[in-house]
Structure 1
Amino acid sequence: MKNAPLYFLLLCSLFLASFKKNERVTLNEIKVKAPFNMPAIKVPDFSKCQKMPITDFGAVKGDKQKTSQAIAQAIAKASKMGGGVVVIPEGEWLTGKVHLKSNVNLHLTKGAVLLFSEDPADYLPAVSSTWEGMECYNYSPLIYAYGCKNIAITGEGKVKAKMDVWKTWFSRPKPHMESIKRLYNLASQYTPVKDRQMVNDTAHLRPQFIQFNRSENILLEGISIENSPFWTVHPYLSKNVVIRNIKVYAHGHNNDGIDPEMSQNVLIENCTFDQGDDAIAIKSGRNPEGWRLKTPSKNIVIRNCVVKNGHQLLALGSELSGGIENVFMDNCRVVDGAKLNHLVFIKTNERMGGYVKNIHISNIKAGKVDQGILGIETDVLYQWRNLVPTVERRLTPISNIFLDNLAATDVKFLSRILGQKELPIENVTVKNVTASTIHGEKHIHENVENFTNAH
């Protein structure tokens, strides 16, 4: 063939052009300053990956089935390519569950609303998930990733849950309570997770909105989240998690904003929370789950966040049997008029074990707080107190808690620390922690060793 070399070069150039168009996802490192050794966090970069609108896969507005299938097909193709951006275009798109795969960015363009069905059947078959710190098979989280690497949810659009059915599940009638009692007993007996099937007609264990389960290198950025059946964002047994510039509005039952659980190397920044429960709640399993999995929540930095409503700005526990350490919250604000119980609340009980240590909170401003700035309680059992007995008693060592420059306008106390005589809470330092009006004693303490109040 006379022009064979030229033909070969043309084929090579076409191949290279195609390869460039479909480049794989890469990783960036984010270095974070903290008062402890904080590893650099790896996050995925999809800037050179192909964009794949769901309309190219047959998505139709208002058609739940076609849109669900289109999203699943686009995610599968993007993952197979080694990196792709699945694009939700402007407009409202009704869907069922979304299961992410490795090397996929789910991107919601400005004006896009991904509206999740209220039909529980759309979140079956059951998947490996959790309920209040206990592993089980339950309804799939609305957006779910299991064992994934290099995943993201980004954009200026919104994900929204239809609440018609879920809100009827907020109540806790006897059949529901019997189901969580059953799960508690299964966990206490170390029953394999595959045998803890919790989907039936009466259990009504609501799914999380977004759960990253046993995944790593995760970016959640820019989106708004409205409503949630249960916890809103749940990084579980995951590593290298960055959550930034998101807005969360969820005022249902158990509607925490972000619940890092047994997760490590986490950055939460520039987020806004308007919650029906805790804004940020760090957890690490309930009772034997944390003891079995032996994975503390560790190296978590939270900064530059705003809370409009919630139970606590930052909660640690009560599910903390795997331990919590190396937490740094800095430069966060609670708006005037917000409904809030504490700025920082550490809660555990005689069944948890685990530990809490090396917690640093600084530069927090708030208006009226219903209870106080710092609360530490070691006998918080909620519904479990009378539901099931203590199977194994393990106390929680709590130590090295540092607060610096926290201010509120109106509180009942600055600190209320209720330790246990057998295991006093140790080494709590509050520096420049103030309130304009204090309605009771500044510091209410039981069984605390080495408390320092500095100015």
Structure 2
Amino acid sequence: MPHLSRRQLVMTSLISPFLISGCATLPRLTKQMQIQVDAPFAMPPILIPDFSDAPHFVITDFGALQEDQAKTTVAIASAIDAAHAAGAGVVVVPEGTWLTGKIHFKSNVCLHVSKGATLLFSEQPADYLPAVHTTWEGIECMNYSPLIYAYQCENIAITGEGRLKARLDVWKVWYARPKPHMDALVALYNLAYTNVPVADRDMTRGEANLRPQFVQFNRCRNVLVEDISIEDSPFWVMHPYLSQDVVIRRIKVRAHGHNNDGVDPEMSQNVLIEDCVFDQGDDAISVKSGRDMDAWRLNTPSKNIVMRNCRILNGHQLMAIGSELSGGIENVFVDNCHFVGSGDGADGHAVPISNLLFVKTNERRGGYVKNIHVSNISATKIAGGVLSVETDVLYQWRNLMPTYVRKLTAIEGLHLSHIRVNEAAFVCQIKAEAEAPVRNVSLKDIQVQKTLHTPVVTENVEGFIHTD
């Protein structure tokens, strides 16, 4: 890939200053490649960017210094501006540890973190201001910027064998949920319920302490993340939100903090997650589609999501569906994934995985879940089961506020096959509402060597098939 000289960089900025604003679409110079994914449903090809011929913009050419967070933050932003203005470019982080604040993407830009390089993100909330349009557990708001943030961008990528690491000094204090935080959640919910514009939902005031996601792709298209390692996170690790055509492959995540899901595709479509390693404090993957009123307003399901060839060292669920699912979730395929921890903490992993597939919702969500497929999975010791469905999962919200609008979730088409587990609490447990029975569930070739409780429990299920 070509490397632009300082003079070329200056000329580029002089020729195209009007292009350096937000994620405005440029004349597309980024090549694209098409990924075809086999799935038990019609899966459209996924388009991702190809930066193989794009020029390089090394952050040291823009003044980055390893020991200087302020200069490095500005240098990364300047390199992104230059790459964007060129029509396509690779921003290169060379070997070494680089202190930085927030990173905001622009279209047609690849952030390449070289092998031996670490981007070490600030722990100071003030470094993630001003507030940006983002979300908190399915509700839109203005909050601290995600550490890496892309808004309305296309053709973007994070690549390289380097590391992204979050300092947790302040965020880990924010993991606690004292009364001011809970009060802020209630206030935010009421803002959404009364349809207050998102621009007026500022959650950075007072002691709301709503932690930002590590990486958020917000309303983006054609996204690639590959080979990177991610360590620690204030909140959800990787959050494709209202995005389309996303490929996440060969990444390694180790984040044991509160709400540290690995990947949370939310109201996103055509997503491939493959060949990854997850070592989580929460779910490995959690597919979501918004909470209650905001999701009904946005009316965008999560759809066509494939997770394959992944290993899970630690986490609550291998695949969670919900509980934020008010926009609907359909066409999810999990194949050839394996929980490889011992499940007892002896190998340094804190907890066993709870369930392989966990569908969770409640009477406030509405939405729907349909056409979920899980196959060729193995696990050692799990605290839950192969399949768990619960329709009364409210967590702290049960006592925070009453149910304003009651909407049950339609759940149908859960298909699991060719699964091997050494030990589990149960094989399958489905607890549904009589008013909205779960429909069309199949378990085929499920082998659990030891179950601690009744293997199969179903309440309000229609069309249940269980064969060895």
Give the TM interval when normalised to the shorter protein: over 0.9
Q: Map 1:25-424 to 2 at 5 A.
A: 25-338=30-343, 339-424=352-437
User: For the residues of structure 2 that align with 1:76 and 1:106, how far apart are their CA atoms?
Assistant: 12
State the secondary structure of the residue aligned to 1:343.
strand
| Contact 1:249–1:274 (CA under 8 A) maintained in structure 2 | yes
- Report the equivalent of 1:7: none
User: For the residues of structure 2 that align with 1:286 and 1:434, how far apart are their CA atoms?
Assistant: 35
| Contact 2:256–2:280 (CA under 8 A) maintained in structure 1 | yes
State the secondary structure of the residue aligned to 1:453.
strand
- Report the equivalent of 1:445: 458
User: For the residues of structure 1 that align with 2:312 and 2:193, how far apart are their CA atoms?
Assistant: 36
1:372 Cα deviation after fit = 1.0
- Report the equivalent of 2:9: none
- Report the equivalent of 1:12: none
User: For the residues of structure 1 that align with 2:364 and 2:127, how far apart are their CA atoms?
Assistant: 36
State the secondary structure of the residue aligned to 1:413.
coil
1:188 Cα deviation after fit = 1.2
What root-mean-square deviation, in Å, do the aligned CA atoms of Structure 1 and Structure 2 show?
A: 1.0
User: For the residues of structure 1 that align with 2:361 and 2:99, how far apart are their CA atoms?
Assistant: 40
Moved more, 417-426 or 183-192: 183-192
Render the CA deviation track for 1:118-168: whole Å, top value 9, x for unaligned.
Answer: 010000000000000000000000000000000000000000000001000
1:24 Cα deviation after fit = 2.6
Structure 2 counterpart of 1:416, which letter?
A: Q
State the secondary structure of the residue aligned to 1:73.
helix
State the secondary structure of the residue aligned to 2:386.
strand
1:336 Cα deviation after fit = 3.3
Render the CA deviation track for 1:343-398: whole Å, top value 9, x for unaligned.
Answer: 11000000000000000000000000011111000000000000011110000000
User: For the residues of structure 1 that align with 2:176 and 2:341, how far apart are their CA atoms?
Assistant: 30
Render the CA deviation track for 1:250-306: whole Å, top value 9, x for unaligned.
Answer: 000000000000000000000000000000000000011111101000000110000
Gaps of 5+ in 1: 1-22
Structure 2 counterpart of 1:290, which letter?
A: A
User: For the residues of structure 2 that align with 1:295 and 1:446, how far apart are their CA atoms?
Assistant: 30
| Contact 1:273–1:308 (CA under 8 A) maintained in structure 2 | yes
Gaps of 5+ in 2: 1-27, 344-351
1:439 Cα deviation after fit = 1.2
State the secondary structure of the residue aligned to 2:185.
helix
User: For the residues of structure 1 that align with 2:182 and 2:429, how far apart are their CA atoms?
Assistant: 31
| % same residue | 61
State the secondary structure of the residue aligned to 2:176.
coil
State the secondary structure of the residue aligned to 2:399.
helix
| Contact 2:213–2:236 (CA under 8 A) maintained in structure 1 | yes
Moved more, 308-317 or 440-449: 440-449
Structure 2 counterpart of 1:148, which letter?
A: C
Structure 2 counterpart of 1:287, which letter?
A: D
| Contact 2:312–2:341 (CA under 8 A) maintained in structure 1 | no
Structure 2 counterpart of 1:133, which letter?
A: G
| Contact 2:57–2:92 (CA under 8 A) maintained in structure 1 | yes
| Contact 1:24–1:48 (CA under 8 A) maintained in structure 2 | no
User: For the residues of structure 2 that align with 1:289 and 1:407, how far apart are their CA atoms?
Assistant: 39
- Report the equivalent of 2:449: 436
TM-score (norm 2): 0.92
TM-score (norm 1): 0.95
Structure exhibiting the larger radius of gyration computed from Cα positions: 1
| Contact 2:314–2:341 (CA under 8 A) maintained in structure 1 | no
Q: How many corresponding residue pairs?
A: 434
| Contact 1:215–1:239 (CA under 8 A) maintained in structure 2 | yes
1:201 Cα deviation after fit = 2.9
1:202 Cα deviation after fit = 0.4
Runs of 4+ off more than 6 Å: none
User: For the residues of structure 2 that align with 1:304 and 1:190, how far apart are their CA atoms?
Assistant: 41
1:453 Cα deviation after fit = 0.5
